[in-house]
Each structure stands twice: as structure tokens, then as C-alpha cells.
């Protein structure tokens, strides 16, 4: 793991896989950090250079005061690509991570070899919902709404109190920096990538857990329908975070898509 000042923010990031291999960048969702990809990365890093980072306000990255704009997150991603001298990457974005990938497309589609939009959409939620969530956290903290969030993130089977992984990801959520979480809620509230999706000229895979309660399959399909030639896949047995509940299937879909884009076969 490394820390570097990127776009003016101390970003926590990590690279796995061979230098010189085609690059994947994995971007985590709201209230999580890059460890959500831990089970997926070993299945991709044999063939790809896999860069992960904690977006601003999350994980061990710096927490600027809220609010943030999706353009801030996209500028961080662009600066991270420049930091690693990556001309173009396959960007894999989960939820807000997908919106950050679309934000990069709005700046410069040439930096995208492809896009995996995982459990995300061109527009997520509405202003009233995001403002209500921000107000609840400002008053009572993330823990006060954690049960609702976790019921959207994970399938009932995963949400067993006896499941140590469920306990662990609950801790990841409730220990997220409030300013970072609220700041990114504001970015989601204000972002609408409908036109970006319509104008996308980048190979795109949209995928979603069959039990996603945050960005359900119908919403992700509606996003895929905006994007010319986009593929659409449903991951069985997963909620909002297929990389945690179904890492093998997640890695297979990403690896197969990356193999098509870079012409170097599937995940290993």
C-alpha cells in the first residue's frame, strides 16, 4: 500500500500484478474502502496490473470537508492515472465508483479502455433522499442508519449475525469518516450522467447483484440501455456488493470482459 498526494489529496492506493500489463482500476462504493476487492484481485492480478484506491473521504485517504462534487472524484481518478503514467485503463466502478468512471468519461473518454459499471447507474436516488441521509448522519451518525444500508448491501443469508464477514463490513461502514460519507452523498445527489451514458463510445459492461437493494437490476438495465452496445449481466446470490458476496463470478465477468478488450484472455 502507498500514500501519495494526488490532485492535492493524500490518497491511499495499492497496485497488484505485473508492471507493463494492461491496467484495471477498481473503485469502491460509498462507505467502503478498497479492501472490498480483496477476494477479487488475486483472480485478476496474474494477467493485469490492478490499481485500487480509497477515494477521497474514505478508508485511509484524506478527508476534505464536505461537500464533494462528482467532478472532484473524477479529477482524483484522472490524476491517479497520470501518477502511474497509465494512458488508458479498464475502469471498474462499484456504485459511486461507476459514477466516478462516468465522470472520467465526461472529461476524456480516451483514458478509458473500457468501463465496468457494477451496481450503479447514470443517476442514483433523488435530492430528497440524499438530503435526508445527510441530515440523519449529521444528527445521529452513520450507525443510526446502518441497518437500512446493510439490508440493501447484502443478501439475507450473508446478513447473519454469526457471519464474521458481515460483522467486519458493518464495522467498515460505521467507522467510515462522516465528512467523507456526507461529502460523497452530496456528489451523488448532484450528479446526473444520463447524457454521458448516451454519448459513451467506450466498451461497457453493466453488471448487478440480483438482490441489490440500492441500485436494483431494473435501474442498472436502464443504464445499460442508454449506452450503445453495452453488455448486461446479473450476478446471482449478491446484493449491492457482488465483489464481496460473489467474488469468483465477479472476477470471471471482469476478467472475461478485460480479455475481450485487451485481447489477452480471461482472468487467471
Give the binding site for ligand L4CXMVQC (CB under 6 A). 29-30, 95-96, 124, 149, 152, 188, 214, 240
Query: Which residue of this chain has its Cβ atom nearest to ligand L4CXMVQC in the complex?
Result: 95
Q: Which is nearer to ligand L4CXMVQC, 46 or 125 (CB)?
A: 125
Q: How far is the CB of 266 from ligand L4CXMVQC (least distance, A)?
A: 27
Count the helix, strand and coil residues of the chain and give each as a percent rounded to the nearest 5. Answer: 45, 20, 35
Q: Within the chain, how many helices (H) and strands (E) appear? A: 10, 8
Q: Which is nearer to ligand L4CXMVQC, 150 or 261 (CB)?
A: 150
Q: How far is the CB of 94 from ligand L4CXMVQC (least distance, A)?
A: 7
Paired with 52 in beta bridges are: 14, 26
Q: How far is the CB of 58 from ligand L4CXMVQC (least distance, A)?
A: 10
Q: Which is nearer to ligand L4CXMVQC, 142 or 205 (CB)?
A: 142
Q: Which is nearer to ligand L4CXMVQC, 45 or 184 (CB)?
A: 184
Distances (CA, A) of 18 to 15, 24, 106: 9, 12, 29
The rounded distance, in Å, linking the Cα atoms of 55 and 104 is 14
Q: Which is nearer to ligand L4CXMVQC, 175 or 264 (CB)?
A: 175
Q: Return the sign of the alpha-carbon dihedral for residues 80, 202, 37, 225.
A: positive
Q: Return the sign of the alpha-carbon dihedral for residues 221, 103, 51, 31.
A: negative
Q: How far is the CB of 240 from ligand L4CXMVQC (least distance, A)?
A: 6
Amino acid at each position: 500500500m502507498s500514500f501519495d498526494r494526488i490532485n492535492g489529496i493524500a490518497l491511499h492506493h495499492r497496485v497488484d500484478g505485473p508492471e507493463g500489463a494492461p491496467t484495471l482500476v477498481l473503485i469502491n462504493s460509498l462507505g467502503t474502502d478498497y479492501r472490498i476487492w480483496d477476494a477479487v484481485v488475486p483472480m485478476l492480478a496474474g494477467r493485469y496490473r490492478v490499481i485500487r484506491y480509497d477515494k477521497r473521504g474514505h478508508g485511509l485517504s484524506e478527508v476534505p470537508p464536505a461537500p464533494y462534487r462528482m467532478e472532484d472524484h473524477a479529477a482524483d481518478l484522472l490524476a491517479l492515472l497520470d501518477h502511474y503514467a497509465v494512458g488508458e485503463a479498464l475502469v471498474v466502478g462499484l456504485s459511486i465508483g461507476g459514477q466516478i468512471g462516468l465522470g472520467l468519461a465526461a472529461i476524456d473518454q480516451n483514458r478509458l479502455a473500457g468501463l465496468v459499471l457494477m451496481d450503479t447507474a447514470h443517476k442514483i436516488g433523488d435530492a430528497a433522499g440524499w438530503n435526508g441521509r445527510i441530515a440523519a448522519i449529521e444528527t445521529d451518525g452513520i450507525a443510526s442508519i446502518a441497518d437500512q444500508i446493510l439490508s440493501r448491501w447484502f443478501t439475507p443469508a450473508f446478513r447473519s449475525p454469526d457471519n464474521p464477514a458481515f460483522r467486519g463490513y458493518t464495522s467498515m461502514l460505521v467507522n467510515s469518516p462522516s465528512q467523507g460519507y456526507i461529502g460523497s452523498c452530496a456528489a451523488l445527489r448532484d450528479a446526473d450522467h444520463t447524457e454521458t451514458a448516451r454519448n459513451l463510445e467506450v466498451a461497457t459492461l453493466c453488471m448487478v447483484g440480483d438482490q441489490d437493494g440500492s441500485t436494483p437490476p431494473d435501474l442498472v438495465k436502464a443504464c445499460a440501455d442508454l449506452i450503445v452496445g453495452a453488455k448486461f449481466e446479473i450476478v446471482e446470490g449478491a446484493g449491492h456488493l457482488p465483489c464481496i458476496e460473489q467474488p469468483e463470478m465477479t472476477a470471471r465477468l471482469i476478467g472475461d470482459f478485460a480479455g475481450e478488450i485487451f485481447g489477452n484472455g480471461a482472468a487467471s
